[in-house]
């Protein structure tokens, strides 16, 4: 049985976290945490997925190197600077790991390192080095909230979740924190997401589960169509739950994968709903498709369309934009078979049947599209597969936020 629990990255046994202010960004808010640290009491099996953007930030290369042996002890992360495309970026990512190691008594290679913020500006590594001892001293089993806030940039709310389930007669817990608001169009795993679990699982099974789940959760989110240079999702598993080691795709593996999917789906939806300047979460559900792949491609095209997003902001039931986005998605479908409906807590309205517009209640449609969460339901009437993707509306505030992001 799957249960949602509290605790975030500290929900699982043997994990502590912290978040402190060290002044990464010049002139930044002194009350805003900008340095996060997560540490396990035991060595962890570790796996990660990363951005497919050809321009990758230095912390990704350092993390990939450190996880080559499939193990880690902790994560060090900062907001306020992406440490990407700037002088000494690789050296500074290594120095950040060294600072974490010195402050915790571990080794440099024991740490995953991540950065998020402005691209192209040299990171204030001195501030991070000076702040790391405070981050280590603040490590606590109640530290998930502080860590979650430390990795926020333009996020308006923290993203944190945890679940528990049973494997081999033992309670197993998985927790996570994530950040993401703008430059969200992942094609790997996520924006930044740190997952911890006390599950005993092999590296191969952990990596397989993470890749499978990421593809069906974080990779189905789009806010603005921009794939970040720093996208990273890492999971650490310390085995302290005491369950029999998961080394095959058996019943316990399925339970772990399902719990991980539930957790990551929750965070993916939170990221989409907190898109920069967004006023509502937009979900596109495509059903009766020829394949799951084609359903996903169609759904992502719809939630990624600037015209659809603008219509959602204006609560305008302009369903023609939905079909237009589907048409350029390059996924196979027959327009003459398509039904489109809009739904929310306010009700549901069918606006298109078999590719043609219907007379519908504009007043009801307006009510439906004014809710905080809106669903665009597309029925292809062609097969048995389905997929859902998440996005948000496009508001004036998105332009305001990104018009002067560096300042």
Is residue 403 pLDDT above 90, yes or no? no
Instruction: Give the tens place of pLDDT for each residue, 297-314.
Output: 999 999 999 999 999 999
Residues 6+ apart with CB under 8 A from 40: 14, 15, 73, 74, 196, 236, 238
Mean pLDDT, all residues of the chain:
92
pLDDT of 180 over the 80 cut: no
Write the pLDDT tens digit of every residue in 257-274. 999 999 999 999 998 877
> Using 50, 70 and 90 to split pLDDT, how confident is the model at 183?
very low
pLDDT above 60: residue 54:
yes
Of the two residues 349 and 270, the one the predictor is more confident about is 349
Supply 116's token pair.
Answer: 């998020």
Beta strands in 168-231 (DSSP E): 170-179, 192-197
45 included as an active-site residue: no
Listed range (3-17, 202-216, 262-276, 360-374) with the worst mean pLDDT = 262-276
Q: Report the C-alpha gap between 172 and 197 in whole angstroms.
A: 7
Residue pair 378/299 in contact by the 8 Å Cβ criterion? yes
Of these residues, 190, 227, 232, 283, which one is catalytic? 190
The 10s digit of each residue's pLDDT in 198-235 is: 999 999 999 999 999 999 999 898 854 445 566 889 99
Q: In the structure, how many helices (H) and strands (E) does the chain have? A: 11, 15
For 69, other C-beta atoms within 10 Å of its C-beta total: 10
Residue 306 gets the label, from left (phi > 0), alpha (psi -120 to 50) or beta, of alpha
pLDDT for the residue 86? 93
Taking alpha carbons only, the member of 191, 182, 151 closest to residue 403 is 182
Q: Distance between alpha carbon 120 and the CA centroid of its chain, in Å?
A: 23
Contacts of 113 (CB under 8 A, 6+ apart): 59, 62, 63, 66, 75, 76, 77, 93, 96, 97, 100
Residue 78 in 3-state DSSP? strand
Average pLDDT value for residue range 113-129? 95
Mind listing the domains of the chain with CATH numbers?
A: 3-273 (3.60.70.12), 281-403 (3.10.20.340)
HSE at residue 124, side-chain half, CA atoms within 13 A, is 21
Going by C-beta distance under 8 Å and a sequence separation of 6 or more, which residues neighbour residue 217? 261, 264, 265, 267, 268
**DSSP conformational letter for 138:** T
Which residues have CB under 8 Å from 28's CB, separation 6+?
34, 80
C-beta of residue 232 within 8 angstroms of C-beta of residue 194:
no
* Total-model pTM: 0.91
DSSP state of 332: -
What beta strand segments (E) does 324-367 contain? 339-344, 347-353, 356-357
pLDDT at 406 over 60: no
Q: What is the mean pLDDT of residues 58-78?
A: 97
Give CA separation, 84 vs 89, 280, 286, 351, 378, in Å. Answer: 6, 31, 37, 45, 39
pLDDT at 231: 81
Residue 392 has pLDDT above 70, yes or no: yes
Instruction: Determine the pLDDT at residue 226.
Output: 46
> What single-letter DSSP state applies at residue 319?
T
């Amino acid at each position: 049985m799957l249960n949602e629990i509290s605790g975030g990255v500290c929900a699982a046994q043997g994990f502590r976290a912290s978040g402190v202010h060290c002044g990464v960004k010049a002139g930044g808010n002194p009350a805003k945490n900008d340095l996060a640290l997560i540490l396990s009491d035991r060595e962890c099996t570790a796996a990660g997925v990363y951005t497919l953007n050809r321009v990758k930030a230095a912390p990704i290369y350092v993390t990939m190197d450190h996880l080559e042996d499939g193990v880690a002890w902790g994560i060090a992360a900062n907001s306020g600077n992406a440490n990407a495309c700037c002088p000494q970026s690789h050296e500074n990512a290594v120095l950040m790991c060294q600072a974490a190691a010195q402050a915790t008594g571990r080794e440099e290679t024991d740490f995953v390192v991540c950065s998020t913020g402005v691209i192209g500006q040299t990171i204030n590594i001195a501030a991070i080095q000076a702040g790391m001892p405070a981050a280590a001293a603040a490590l606590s089993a109640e530290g998930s909230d502080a860590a979650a806030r430390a990795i926020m940039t333009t996020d308006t709310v923290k993203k944190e979740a945890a679940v528990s389930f049973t494997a081999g007669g033992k309670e197993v817990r998985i927790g996570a924190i994530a950040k993401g608001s703008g430059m969200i169009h992942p094609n790997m795993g996520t924006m930044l997401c740190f997952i911890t679990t006390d599950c005993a699982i092999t590296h191969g099974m952990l990596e397989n589960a993470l890749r499978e789940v990421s593809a069906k959760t974080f990779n189905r989110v789009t806010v603005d169509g921009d794939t970040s240079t720093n996208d990273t999702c890492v999971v650490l598993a310390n085995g302290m739950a005491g369950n029999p080691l998961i080394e095959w795709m058996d019943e316990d593996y399925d339970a772990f994968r399902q719990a991980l999917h539930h957790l990551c789906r929750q965070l993916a939806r939170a990221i989409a709903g907190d898109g920069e300047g967004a006023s509502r979460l937009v979900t596109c559900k495509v059903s009766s498709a020829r394949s799951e792949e084609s359903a996903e491609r169609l759904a992502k095209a719809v939630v990624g369309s600037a015209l659809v997003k603008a219509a959602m902001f204006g609560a305008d039931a302009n369903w023609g934009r939905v079909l237009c986005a589907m048409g350029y998605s390059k996924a196979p479908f027959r327009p003459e078979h398509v039904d489109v409906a809009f739904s929310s807590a306010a009700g549901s309205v069918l606006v298109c049947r078999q590719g043609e517009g219907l007379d519908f209640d504009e007043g009801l449609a307006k009510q439906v599209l004014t809710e905080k969460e809106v669903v665009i339901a597309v029925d292809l009437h062609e097969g048995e597969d389905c997929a859902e993707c998440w996005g948000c509306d496009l508001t004036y505030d998105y332009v305001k936020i990104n018009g002067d992001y560096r300042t």
